């Protein structure tokens, strides 16, 4: 049975194997038991159709091809930052070329009194809630993943491999993993490890060698399962953002706006600039719920349509927006060109709960005010940006903090636009004199 890469669901339970199968007709007749095939690689649609046909007509299987898994098991062990404490272990299934490139940080210290708590909701399972007010930009939690899997794992990974990931988890971690939401049926994801990852995992970036051998689509996608961040329910207007840091092998969750005590802390599972219809098209099949957030439940159709239009507009604005970099070299543009353009979209971004985009525009506004030498507005926007970015975009926050200490000294481009404009005026004047000379030479008289 194992040789045929079958999962057979009958009274004696499922049988599994990590073999891939190429399906043909008329060799081995498998009788009327209901079964499905677990394939260790994705098949083109035609094979899936053939499979459906096969299940209906009691199909036959000829050739079996063994497809070795490209992944190996590996446990990352992070020493505890405090003496006597146990290390943190991350159970991983990785391409072997990634293992030598992994960093070896210490585990992040536990936060003494975290600003959140996890409790049951009536309609969404567990959720993460603010225990006390959380100011924008502040840290909610930094966390290592419990396990790391290749993305789209169940297409390429056998049940035995999922079970091995599970076996390598510390006992307490395993218990917590088992308590996490799993929106996949046993047939879709026979392993808890896979089902829980598909419901909760966050995409993480790993380092790949320049000659990384696997060129197949998605080969560089990996997911991390985070026990606490994974408790964040979805909203289309989120109040928290997260960042993965490869050097510390951890993700950090931080507030995107001020969050009130008792308020639910939310993350988004879809691209929030899509229309409501498109967001729902992803949420139902991937996460099995219809979104109850205010942005999906406007009281009338006109408001709902306006929200879709605003999100579409922001989706167009982001890639086509005027930027500080282009403005800085184009002295013909009005001084307030980028500032006014960005200021016009900020209210839309706030109304739609798209606060994750704010730093993109605030950074430009700060740099424009610095280049204009407008200290009052520079301070106003730089202070706001430092507060918002102090956890999620530390480098930017540190750069602006330094500039705030003494803008004239610490900002190389302070007031540069005025200087460049004056230089340009001088050049233009010189050019006018040269142009005069040219005309006199040609016509013997200067222009009026």
Ligand X SMILES: C[S@@+](CC[C@H](N)C(=O)[O-])C[C@H]1O[C@@H](n2cnc3c(N)ncnc32)[C@H](O)[C@@H]1O
What's phi and psi for 293, nearest 5 deg?
Answer: -75, 160
Q: Does 154 bind ligand X (CB under 6 A)?
A: no
Residue with tokens 């395993």: 174
Give the shortest CB-234-to-ligand X separation in angstroms. Answer: 4
The SS3 assignment for 209 reads: coil
CA distance 281 to 266: 20
Q: Does 15 bind ligand X (CB under 6 A)?
A: no
- According to CB under 6 A, which one of 136, 231, 342, 355 is a site residue for ligand X? 231
Q: Does 288 bind ligand X (CB under 6 A)?
A: yes
Contacts with 78 (C-beta within 8 Å, 6 or more apart), sequence order: 87, 88, 89, 90, 104, 105, 106, 107, 144, 249
- According to CB under 6 A, which one of 5, 180, 339, 372 is a site residue for ligand X? 180
Q: How many residues does the chain have?
A: 448
Piece of the chain touching ligand X by CB under 6 A; list 226-234, 251-259, 313-321, 435-443: 226-234
Q: Residues 106-135 vs ligand X: string with x where CB under 6 A?
A: -----------------xxxxx--------
372 torsion bin: left (phi>0), alpha (psi -120 to 50), beta (else): alpha
Per-residue DSSP letter, 115: S
Q: What share of the chain is helix, strand, coil (3-state, %, to 5)?
A: 40, 15, 40
Per-residue DSSP letter, 93: E
Structure tokens at 151: 């993305």
Decide whether 122 or 332 has the Cβ nearer to ligand X. 122
Give the shortest CB-308-to-ligand X separation in angstroms. Answer: 18
Q: Does 418 bind ligand X (CB under 6 A)?
A: no
Q: Does 391 bind ligand X (CB under 6 A)?
A: no
Decide whether 281 or 288 has the Cβ nearer to ligand X. 288
Piece of the chain touching ligand X by CB under 6 A; list 106-114, 163-171, 289-297, 327-335: 289-297
Decide whether 5 or 153 has the Cβ nearer to ligand X. 153
Q: Does 8 bind ligand X (CB under 6 A)?
A: no
Piece of the chain touching ligand X by CB under 6 A; list 33-41, 165-173, 180-188, 438-446: 180-188
Decide whether 17 or 307 has the Cβ nearer to ligand X. 307
Give the shortest CB-265-to-ligand X separation in angstroms. Answer: 11
Q: Does 189 bind ligand X (CB under 6 A)?
A: no
Q: Does 183 bind ligand X (CB under 6 A)?
A: yes
CA distance 195 to 186: 8
Q: How many helices (H) and strands (E) does the chain have?
A: 13, 18
* Alpha-helix runs per DSSP H in 112-191: 159-167, 171-178
389 torsion bin: left (phi>0), alpha (psi -120 to 50), beta (else): alpha
Count of residues engaged in binding ligand X, rule: CB under 6 A: 19
Q: Does 78 bind ligand X (CB under 6 A)?
A: no
Decide whether 54 or 259 has the Cβ nearer to ligand X. 259
Give the shortest CB-261-to-ligand X separation in angstroms. Answer: 20
Measure the CA angle with vertex 218, ends 222 and 8; round to 5°. Answer: 85
The SS3 assignment for 417 reads: helix
Q: Does 270 bind ligand X (CB under 6 A)?
A: no
Answer yes or no: are the C-beta atoms of 393 and 358 closer than 8 Å: no
Give the shortest CB-17-to-ligand X separation in angstroms. Answer: 29
Residue with tokens 């408001």: 303
- According to CB under 6 A, which one of 200, 239, 268, 307 is a site residue for ligand X? 200
Residues in contact with ligand X by CB under 6 A are: 123-127, 180-181, 183, 199-200, 230-231, 233-234, 287-289, 291-292
């Amino acid at each position: 049975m194992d040789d045929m890469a079958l999962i057979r669901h009958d009274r004696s339970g499922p049988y599994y194997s990590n073999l891939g199968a190429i399906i043909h007709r008329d060799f081995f007749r498998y009788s009327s038991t209901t079964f499905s095939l677990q394939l260790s690689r994705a098949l083109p649609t035609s094979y899936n159709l053939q499979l459906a046909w096969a299940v209906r007509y009691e199909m036959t299987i000829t050739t079996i091809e063994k497809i070795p898994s490209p992944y190996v098991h590996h446990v990352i062990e992070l020493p505890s930052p405090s003496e006597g404490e146990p290390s943190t272990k991350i159970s991983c299934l990785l391409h072997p070329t990634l293992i030598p490139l992994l960093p070896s940080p210490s585990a992040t210290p536990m936060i003494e009194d975290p600003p959140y708590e996890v409790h049951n909701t009536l309609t969404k399972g567990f959720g993460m809630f603010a225990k006390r007010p959380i100011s924008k930009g502040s840290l909610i939690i930094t966390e290592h993943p419990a396990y790391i899997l290749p993305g789209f794992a169940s297409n390429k990974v056998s049940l035995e491999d999922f079970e091995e990931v599970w076996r390598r988890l510390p006992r307490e971690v395993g218990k917590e993993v088992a308590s996490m939401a799993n929106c996949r049926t046993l047939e879709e994801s026979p392993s808890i490890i896979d089902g829980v990852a598909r419901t909760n995992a966050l995409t993480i970036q790993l380092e790949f060698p320049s000659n990384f051998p696997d060129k197949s689509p998605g080969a560089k996608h990996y997911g991390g399962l985070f026990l606490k961040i994974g408790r964040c329910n979805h909203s289309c207007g989120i109040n928290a953002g997260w960042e993965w840091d490869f050097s510390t092998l951890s993700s950090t969750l931080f507030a995107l706006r001020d969050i009130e005590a008792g308020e639910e802390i939310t993350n988004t599972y879809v691209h929030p600039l899509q229309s409501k219809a498109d967001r729902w098209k992803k949420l139902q099949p991937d996460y099995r719920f219809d979104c109850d957030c205010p942005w999906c439940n406007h009281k009338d159709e006109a408001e709902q349509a306006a929200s879709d239009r605003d999100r579409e507009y922001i989706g167009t604005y982001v890639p086509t927006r005027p930027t500080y970099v282009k403005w800085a070299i184009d002295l013909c543009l009005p001084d307030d060109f980028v500032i006014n353009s960005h200021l016009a979209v900020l209210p839309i971004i706030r109304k739609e709960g798209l606060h994750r985009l704010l730093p993109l525009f605030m950074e430009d506004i700060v740099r424009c005010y610095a280049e204009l030498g407008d200290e009052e507005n520079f301070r106003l926007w730089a202070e706001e940006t430092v507060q918002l970015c102090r956890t999620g975009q530390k480098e930017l926050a540190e750069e602006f903090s330094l500039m705030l200490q003494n803008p004239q000294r610490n900002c190389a481009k302070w007031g540069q636009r005025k200087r460049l404009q004056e230089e340009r005026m001088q050049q233009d004047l010189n050019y006018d004199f040269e142009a005069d000379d040219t005309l006199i030479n040609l016509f013997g008289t200067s222009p009026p």
